[in-house]
Amino acid sequence: MTGTWAPVDAGVLTLPSGLLVRGRGLRRPLPGGAAPTFGVYLLGREPEPVAWESRWVRWPDFRLPTDRVRAREVFGEALARAATDRVEVACGGGIGRTGTALACMAVLDGVPADRAVAFVRGAYHPRAVETPWQQRFVRRFGAPV
């Protein structure tokens, strides 16, 4: 076991199950403290290499993931790994794509899809999930693929 985040760490979202996931913007410096042990990076182009295991979901800014099935798989893996790892989810600014991914992970963790955006806005960032199509993506995320 590598250990997880502390609920008071910068950008950490506590999911209903008690799992902790950190959201952040890649345009800002890496926060102090422990490094992630698993990362999910939501960018339009392949991210720079990191010193920990990671997954890339191709996701242009202000849009949706280009492969929604892969996004669902990666979010599920990140949620499962949050039980033992320091999982971070990040995009350029840490609000739109990151907030959308965190809201989808909240759905996987039991938050009703129609309340997941409000949950993440209240617990992570008030402007998380920036666009109407990102909000619709979260609402539909609870439906079978």
Q: Are 85 and 4 in contact (CB under 8 A)?
A: yes
User: What six digits make up the tokens of 12?
Assistant: 């950490």
What percent of the chain clears pLDDT 70, i.e. is strictly above it? 97
| Span 59-68, pLDDT tens digits | 999 899 999 9
Which stretches of the chain are assigned E, i.e. beta strand?
Answer: 12-14, 20-25, 38-43, 53-58, 87-91
Domains of the chain: 15-28+35-138 (3.90.190.10)
Considering the entire predicted model, what is its pTM?
A: 0.95
Distance CA 110, CA 108 (A): 6
User: What six digits make up the tokens of 108?
Assistant: 């996987």
Distance CA 62, CA 50 (A): 24
SS3 6: coil
